[in-house]
A and B are shown apart, each in its own frame.
Chain A
Amino acid sequence: MLTYLFRRLLVSLPLLLLIALELNLLVHMVPGDPTAVFIDPRFPPEYIEQIKVSLGLDRPLHVQIAKWFANILQLDFGISFFHQRPVSEMILDALPNTLLLSAVSMVLIFLLGTSVGIYSAVRQYSWKDQVVTVSSLFFYSMPSFWLSLMLILLAAVVAPHWPSSGMVGETIMLKEAAIAEALQMGEAPEVTIGFFERLFDLLQHLLLPAIALGVAPAAGVARYTRSAMLEVVRQDYIRTARAKGVPGRRVIVKHALRNALIPVITLLGLYLPFLISGAVLVETIFAWPGMGRLIVEGVFQRDYPVILGTGLLLAVMVVIGNLVADILYSAVDPRIRYG
């Protein structure tokens, strides 16, 4: 297993290098001046030249790319043109937020998806199954950005004070500011933020984006689970279990479910990169300070180091996701062994 892991990682290294090279070429192919976005064109040209020199944009293409690669090996993604901050720092700020959102919606996807799938599979061809199947197809076809807006609209009607943007609520932010001010003055802060207060606030902010992000994949998982379940339920060992007099619910939960979930579990790894890239739109709408927003802002500000850094990270995520899918596959299905 370990050798297999090692070999897989070794094989994917050249792939990642290739992708990094392509990203670089793509970015350098762009017509126009990258400095035009963040420098006022009325500045004297020699000043602009100077900035270009300091950013290394004056050097020939292969030198720039080679330098970028050399820096990447030291985990240095360069400095953002726009924010004048190291990209690695920006990514480290954004990544936990995205992972939190992804993890929550992942739980939603698999809990909701598998339970709905099983529900409709055990009631195959009843009207309930039909309704669930059609509506899951409907949700499956739903664009996440529209669902986000509809959720915001719904929240605005049902619960007008429900937070629909950002990660931290106003009261917490005010308190934080007060604490920071007090600390700066050298006094003991008067207000405190309780752990549960913070958690509750975070969960409030998480709910809408997690639903918006999770519903469409959950519908996909439900469809997948349903067909996997139907395949398993008709097998001989299930009939045997039924014939032996095992109660219906127990047959489904203990005997059928285990085998039906094998293909579903592999989806888990495949959804990893999707959640991070799919979060692009949802994060932008809900102003969630994560990777998706970083990418979108970087793209619109033509912030090349940010684009390159996040792009490479996404590619790494995909490779890891595929690997996780394979490992999970062999973990749940002992017939498959990698050597």
Chain B
Amino acid sequence: MAERDRVWKPDFPADLPGIWQFRRGLPVFGALILCVCLLSLGVLVLVPGRVLESLERAGGFGNLLQGLVVLTSVLGMFHKPWLAVGVLFLAFLAALFGLGKDWLAPQVLVLAPILALYLGRRRPPRPRWGKSQWTLVQERFLHSSLAQVGLAGVVLLYLATFLAPYLAPFDPLAQPDPSGLKLAAPLTHGYLLGADQFSRDVLSRILHGAWISMTIGLFAVLLSASLGMFFGLVAGWFGGWIDGLISRLLIDNLLSIPRLPLLLVFMALFKDAFPPQYRIYVIILILGATGWMGTARLVRGEVLTVRERDFVQAGRALGLSQGTLLFKHVAPNCLAPVLVSATLGIGGTILVEAALSFLSLGVPPPTPSWGAMVNDGRQFLTKAWWISTFPGLVIVVAVTCFNLLGDGLRDALDPKLIGRERRSAPDDEDETEGESSETLEARTAS
């Protein structure tokens, strides 16, 4: 009987796999959908002249509408799949009445894989009782509404990056009237967020600039996280002179040069050595190569504790090879702090990239990037405040979202921390004690 009482009752629709289980996130996504709809309505109401004009022009307002349709339908997936199908059908209808010509490509490109994933999903085997580790993490994550806001923001930002061409009301590089529409104020002439000194639309440039920041942030952090993971694993596992070599020679050395000046020197001196179209790859490489030390230290510390655990001993006793033990058994157990520091690292990388662009050492000029836009507006600060203000605000929001997500992940992955904050467990003291002596050791050792 006791066994039957413990039968697992899902507290969310169990037919939804993986990430779609963010049930408590739904109000947030619902609010987002509402915002997007209100925004599009606002566009229709506020700038009717612009709508008519853009309807005649390919790549104009029609694209905005299409982008909104795609966005709404993707968000709709979180709620009810039939809603997304319905929206797609509406998009078909809209297309029949001729809102733009090349409308199909983005919808199909974006929605086909998602629909395929959804329809062809494999339901996870349901445990009879108890919860898997990731289910627990998920539940803890869903406990915090701030973390969900962060997740929603990050998802939206990445959506915006590859929907930018369809969301943006204007071409980000077009200069329709450099003398007449120069520094046009927000909400005039169809510019929602105003125009810059070349009459380019700030909103469109922000949307297109998201691509630069998000891409650089993601890939640089992927690089630095894998580098940090590798060096940390090797240093912690082998110890001895290998550890000394990595910790002293590489990590301490790189940490002793402040990152921003180093990047500044490197980009300024070497920027002419590469063709402009490869600049973004150089930035990704250099940001990744200078950002891995913190992760490596974290992983090293984690490996030092994990390698003494019983399951590693058992693996040794079974005669597993060093590589199998390290990469198959130890590495996954060190992943949690890496995940957190990588999420927080994306935010930091976006900030550093923006700083580089601000000093015009980022991606070369005609390509819009947030930092460079802030710099563009610097000389028109009092005359046209919107040029600098909005891109900077978007940077802040983006970085905040990544920080919220990272904080949420940390709380979810490391329940010890939450327990410490929320309730006093009797065995707390031991942990604090152990930790302080550990840090003490680490500090005296260094």
List A residues at the B interface (Cβ < 8 Å). 15-16, 18-19, 22, 26-27, 30-32, 124, 134, 137-138, 140-143, 145-146, 149-150, 152-153, 156, 227, 230-231, 234-236, 273-274, 276-278, 280-281, 284-285, 295-296, 299-300, 302, 307, 310-311, 314-315, 318-319, 326, 329, 335-336, 338
Contacts and interface: CB of A to CB of B under 8 A. Distances in A.
Contacts of B351: 141, 143
B127 interface: no
Nearest to A281: B355
Nearest to B407: A137
A27 B266 CA distance: 9
B270 interface: yes
B259 to A, nearest CB: 8
A319 B256 contact: yes
B34 interface: no
Contact of B403 (A137, A143, A145, A156): A137
Given A145-B374, A152-B381, A296 B256 contact: no
Given A26-B265, A143-B351, A149-B374, A274 B258 contact: yes
A310 B260 CA distance: 13
Contacts of A319: 256
A130 to B, nearest CB: 9
Contacts of A326: 443
A311 to B, nearest CB: 7
B66 to A, nearest CB: 31
Q: Which of A124, A230, A336 has the most CB of B within 10 A?
A: A336
A299 B260 contact: no
Contacts of B248: 15
Given A26-B266, A234-B424, A156 B400 contact: no
Contacts of B404: 137
Contacts of A329: 443
B31 interface: no
Contacts of A302: 268-269
A329 B444 CA distance: 11
B257 A315 contact: yes
A138 B258 CA distance: 24
Given A30-B269, A143-B351, A281-B359, A150 B392 contact: yes
B318 interface: no
Contacts of A276: 258
B440 A336 contact: yes
Contact of B258 (A137, A277, A281, A285): A277
A319 B443 CA distance: 14
Contacts of A315: 256-257
A302 B272 CA distance: 13
Q: Would you list the 9 A-B pairs with minimal beta carbon distance, nearest first?
A: A146-B392, A277-B258, A141-B399, A299-B268, A141-B400, A30-B269, A318-B256, A315-B256, A145-B358
B256 A143 contact: no
Contacts of B399: 141-143
* B interface majority secondary structure: helix
B62 to A, nearest CB: 33
A234 B252 CA distance: 36
A137 B388 contact: no
B371 to A, nearest CB: 8
A297 to B, nearest CB: 11
B273 interface: yes
Given A230-B421, A280-B261, 10 more contacts: A18-B249, A19-B253, A137-B400, A143-B351, A146-B388, A146-B395, A149-B381, A231-B420, A314-B257, A318-B256
A31 B269 CA distance: 8
Contact of B264 (A30, A280, A318, A336): A280
Contacts of B432: 231
B385 interface: yes
Contacts of B396: 138, 141-143, 146
A15 B253 CA distance: 6
Contacts of B133: none
Given A32-B272, A156-B382, A231-B420, A296 B264 contact: yes
Nearest to B150: A137
A307 B270 CA distance: 14
A338 B355 contact: no
B261 A314 contact: yes
Q: Which of A32, A141, A276, A310 has the most CB of B within 10 A?
A: A141
Given A138-B400, A141-B403, A153-B382, A295 B261 contact: yes
9 contacts: A18-B253, A26-B266, A141-B396, A146-B354, A146-B374, A277-B261, A284-B359, A310-B261, A319-B256
A273 B258 contact: yes
B255 interface: yes
Interface in B244-301: 248-249, 252-253, 255-261, 264-266, 268-270, 272-273
B256 A15 contact: yes
Given A30-B270, A150-B389, A336 B257 contact: no
A150 B249 CA distance: 41
Contact of B347 (A124, A138, A141, A231): A141
A108 to B, nearest CB: 20
Contacts of B429: 235-236
A234 B428 CA distance: 10
B146 interface: yes
A335 B444 CA distance: 12
B399 to A, nearest CB: 4
Contacts of B400: 137-138, 141
Contacts of A231: 420, 432
Interface in B348-370: 351, 354-355, 358-359
A281 B264 CA distance: 11
A295 B354 CA distance: 18
B252 A15 contact: yes
A220 to B, nearest CB: 11
Nearest to A27: B269
Contacts of B265: 26-27, 299, 307, 311
B261 A156 contact: no
B307 interface: no
A327 B429 CA distance: 26
Contacts of B261: 277, 280, 295, 310-311, 314
A230 B408 CA distance: 18
B293 to A, nearest CB: 12
A238 B336 CA distance: 33
A202 B63 CA distance: 53
Contacts of A277: 258-261
Interface in B416-431: 420-421, 424, 428-429
A9 B440 CA distance: 20
Contacts of A134: 146
